[in-house]
């Protein structure tokens, strides 16, 4: 199953120092799941701090477990929205 995760950092400026301390661990965690093929693409958000992750997992629950274990999520600094995806019907074989 394919999913799109929108991960936004909480904007409380008093947390900024703690967030900075976790960014290295966050990047390593993301690289690990990218290397495994679970994270298919990862993009930084421009308008707000955070990232969008296209991912593939066997279930929504498995995807959410992975996302909830991101270092920033474990520390309570992320808001996670997980959207289930399905193939675009425009690419399906047309029937004449």
| Joined tokens for residue 95 | 């029937």
- The pLDDT confidence band at residue 11, using thresholds 50, 70 and 90, is confident
What does the pLDDT look like over 59-90, one tens digit per residue?
Answer: 999 999 999 999 999 999 999 999 999 988 88
**Nearest alpha carbon to residue 56 among 94, 84, 95, 92:** 84
The residue extents of the domains of the chain are 2-87
| Alpha-carbon span 30 to 55, nearest angstrom | 11
| Cβ-contact 6, 80 below 8 angstroms | yes
The topology (CATH level 3) of 2-87 is Alpha-Beta Plaits (3.30.70)
User: pTM, whole model, 2 decimals?
Assistant: 0.86
């Amino acid at each position: 199953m394919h999913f799109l995760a929108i991960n936004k950092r909480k904007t409380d400026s008093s947390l900024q120092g703690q967030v900075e301390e976790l960014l290295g661990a966050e990047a390593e965690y993301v690289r690990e799941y990218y290397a495994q093929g679970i994270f298919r693409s990862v993009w930084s958000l421009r308008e707000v701090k955070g990232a969008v992750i296209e991912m593939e997992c066997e279930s929504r629950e498995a995807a959410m477990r992975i996302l909830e274990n991101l270092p920033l999520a474990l520390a309570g600094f992320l808001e996670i929205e997980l959207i289930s995806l399905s193939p675009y019907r425009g690419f399906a074989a047309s029937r004449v």
